[in-house]
Amino acid sequence: MIKTTYPPSILQYIPFFFVIWSDDLLTLSEIAVVKKIIDEDQNLSKKDRETLNSWLNTAQPPLDTEIKSWQRAISNSGIKLVESDNHPLTSFSKKLISQNGSEHIFNENLSAIEINLGIQPNHYHHLFEVEVVLEKTSHFYDPKEIDQIFKGTYHREIDEFRDALSASIFSWEIIQNKEEFRKKVLSQVQYLAKTGYGAMAYPEAYGGTGNMSLYATIFENLMYVDGSLTVKFGVQFGLFGGSIQKLGTKKHHDRYLTAIGEAKLLGCFAMTETGHGSNVRGIKTTATYNKEQDNITIHTPGKNDNKEYIGNALHGTMASVFAQLIVDGKNHGVHAILVPLRDSENRLMPGVRIEDNGYKLGLNGVDNGKIWFDQVKVPRENLLNKYGDIKSDGTYYSDIKNPNKRFFTMLGTLVGGRICVAKGALSGAKMSLAIAVKYALQRRQFNDNLKIQEDLIMDYPSHQLRLTPAIAKCYVYQVTLDSLMKIYSDDSITDKRKIETQVAGLKAIITWFANETIQECREACGGKGYLLENRIADLKGDVDIFTTFEGDNTVLLQLAAKGIMSDFNTEFNSAGFSAVFKLLGTQISDKLVTINPLYANKVDKEHLYNPKFHQHAFDYRTRRLTYSAAMRIRDYIKKGVPTYQAFLKVQTHLIALGKAYSCELAYNTYLQFTETIEDKKNQELFQKLGCLFALSEIREDASWYLEQGYLGGTKSKAIRQRVERLSTEFRPHIEVLVDGFGIPDHCLTAPISR
């Protein structure tokens, strides 16, 4: 029998009040929850009710001696707290008064406090001096259901592909020699080609299914096997084959696509040059039409004009070479021409020189190289002529008369590649998070003198805060990229400029996020994360380059910002400025109102968790940055500063705008998606993850919001606390959340994840 001064009617509330006051959980809205439970408890006397309500007075909190007496009542009970109970704290309270034979007065509604205040094991692990029967993870959510939500329409095909990855050829191993590594990766690509996965995005006539979205999903799942395989697969079937599919016409498709899909014709995508990376329009390689011979001469004119960092360069026999097309002395801009690199005996063709790029930070299973062309002649038919052609009479013709529009239409073919790059990087982050979480659910470290064993590192709030928001971001970014790929794959949308702007920004923020997350996971796993066998080190090296290939992130964010400011106006892309003045007219008439101080410091849970607040915060940031950037540029122009120089002066501003726009786009896309989830339980889970994403993003840019007066110090602090709180609330479900990524068990080979 417990000897205490508290009657059972009050004793049952003691564990809750002890957690509340020891862990600083109370806000006004949460006080209201507790008061409601007390007010509706018919077994409380007037005096009991007054006592309990007095303990909810934040202006005059309970004395330390009172709180210590609560602790004694709990510690002396001898009761175990069982985490696997549906509501552990409520069950503990019931057992507490049952010892007094008073279970008949127990208030079952106490569980509402546990639920509404989000009380989790973290809130009492280090408070209760009782034995806690630990539960590594909750099974309230089903990871298969989460994975199913992500897979959507193609669940059967995705499952079949993941099963196919269990073949021995895909077994992961440490290979330090690049020649051996490349040989293995090539064999894997050829294996995938034989099973039909290489041609997935091509039309049925060429062995495919015409399904670009499914191809992108296959690409991202390959990251769970190996980064080099993923990139080699993307170069062969996505970039090389995709350039022929998107820029070529039927004659090219008939001649090449089937062989490419079967990996019988290996090829390169030769765009980047040593002297020109992101500025595709400025590349120096020339493709000069010779009317007398009816052929095209491909030539690398200068020292740094060679093609650089070209994947498949050592294995490829043909390349899609991007060059300045010159017809009858006139430069018609960048076009793609198919150029043979090697003959049937695998010898380099005359005029072609290729050098190995050598060892890299990662992706050493990919054969990157440099390519030079010295007056290499190819037939006129090798011009990929969907958007620009040389007719039989030797004249140039294009349906798109505006050369700028033609250039950006052709570059629109890169959008699919950029989505895939972002998806691949995201898979690297997901893989790292899965490994780090599973390790944290096994690794124990530190304790106090009263505990038999050390604590799981996943139970430390600091560990939750470093991993959980990243998991939420993975959910948001996955949904966003899937949505964009669906739009990009819609052939009825011929003008891809808007989605090019969107993908440019998202590719940047997601690949940066992936690298930051992988590094965080490496550190979260300590020395074990540094071992090659545990995969994170390889992911770190492999995903690093994703920030600069398919477009340098800093450049892409400026591209996105210019697209936003011009409202996707083509004239802006040709350095015209009328679009900005048009934008200024609408922005000035739609004034950005001063934020009400009451709003800037509103901290109740209902407001901070409300998607309307998140949307308003993101929209405000994007509009404010757009308006202020345009005003700054206009002021420079009025002073006589050339347009190009005006943009350089606001370059960092444009980057901030690109990030803000991309974040808002991702959140709004995700929010719309959650409304389509039919199962209420899973819908609420996804919405809560969206909330954590939004608050994390606002918290990370709190300095900007504070500068603008959008947030007050009180609200900024409350958001920080809510991010920590949500991270803790997800702790029981953390393994389920990473299992929901759908990473096959046979791919999750890191020993520390087992």
Residue 19 has pLDDT above 70, yes or no: yes
Lowest mean pLDDT among 76-90, 384-398, 524-538, 692-706: 76-90
Longest dimension (CA), the chain: 108
- Please report the pLDDT score of residue 572 as a whole number: 41
Top-confidence residue, 595 or 730: 730
What is 528-597 written as a DSSP string? GGGSGGGSHHHHHHHHHGGGTTTS-HHHHHHHHHHHHHTTS-HHHHTT--HHHHHHHHHHHHS--PPPPH
Give mean pLDDT, residues 172-200.
Answer: 97
Lowest mean pLDDT among 120-134, 170-184, 411-425, 576-590: 576-590
| Token pair recorded at residue 724 | 């920590």
Contacts of residue 716, defined as CB under 8 A and 6 or more positions apart, other chains included, come to: 699, 702, 705, 706
The pTM for the full model equals: 0.86
When pLDDT is cut at 50, 70 and 90, the band that residue 3 belongs to is very low
* All structural domains of the chain: 8-133 (no CATH), 267-412 (2.40.110.10), 413-745 (1.20.140.10)
Give mean pLDDT, residues 234-249.
Answer: 96
Q: Which of 511, 441, 539 is nearest to 172 (CA)?
A: 539
Do 286 and 333 touch, CB atoms closer than 8 A?
A: no
- Please report the pLDDT score of residue 279 as a whole number: 82
pLDDT in tens, 546-576: 999 888 999 999 989 988 887 633 434 444 4
Do 244 and 252 touch, CB atoms closer than 8 A?
A: yes
Do 473 and 455 touch, CB atoms closer than 8 A?
A: no
Give mean pLDDT, residues 711-722.
Answer: 94
Residue 707 has pLDDT above 80, yes or no: yes
Residue type, 553: N
Lowest mean pLDDT among 164-173, 193-202, 589-598: 589-598
When pLDDT is cut at 50, 70 and 90, the band that residue 100 belongs to is confident
Do 13 and 52 touch, CB atoms closer than 8 A?
A: yes
Percent of the chain at pLDDT exceeding 90: 67
Residue 592 has pLDDT above 60, yes or no: no
Residue 710 has pLDDT above 80, yes or no: yes
What is 652-705 written as a DSSP string? HHHHHHHHHHHHHHHHHHHHHHHTT--SHHHHHHHHHHHHHHHHHHHHHTHHHH
Residue type, 547: T
Residue 249 has pLDDT above 90, yes or no: yes
Q: How far apart are CA 17 and CA 23, in angstroms?
A: 10
Q: Characterize 406-431 residue by residue with b for buried, 16 or more Cβ atoms within 10 angstroms of its Cβ, and e for exposed.
A: bbbbbbbbbbbbbbbbbbbbbbbbbb
- Please report the pLDDT score of residue 323 as a whole number: 96
Strand partners, 133: 82
When pLDDT is cut at 50, 70 and 90, the band that residue 448 belongs to is low
Q: How far apart are CA 220 and CA 426, in angstroms?
A: 8
What is 226-242 written as a DSSP string? -HHHHHHHIIIIIIIHH
Do 312 and 266 touch, CB atoms closer than 8 A?
A: yes
Active site residue 550: yes
Q: Which of 656, 667, 666 is nearest to 705 (CA)?
A: 656
When pLDDT is cut at 50, 70 and 90, the band that residue 27 belongs to is confident
| Token pair recorded at residue 249 | 């016409």
Pairing assessment for the beta strands 376-379 and 286-290 based on DSSP bridges? unpaired
pLDDT in tens, 596-643: 788 888 989 899 999 999 999 999 999 899 989 988 988 999 999 998
Q: Which of 262, 265, 373 is nearest to 318 (CA)?
A: 265
- Please report the pLDDT score of residue 594 as a whole number: 61
Residue 306 has pLDDT above 80, yes or no: yes
Q: How far apart are CA 202 and CA 213, in angstroms?
A: 12
Give mean pLDDT, residues 98-106.
Answer: 85
Give mean pLDDT, residues 578-582.
Answer: 52
Do 363 and 231 touch, CB atoms closer than 8 A?
A: yes
Percent of the chain at pLDDT exceeding 70: 92
Residue 174 has pLDDT above 50, yes or no: yes
Contacts of residue 503, defined as CB under 8 A and 6 or more positions apart, other chains included, come to: 415, 418, 419, 422, 484, 488
Give mean pLDDT, residues 232-239.
Answer: 97
Residue from 30, 273, 520, 550 carrying the catalytic annotation: 550
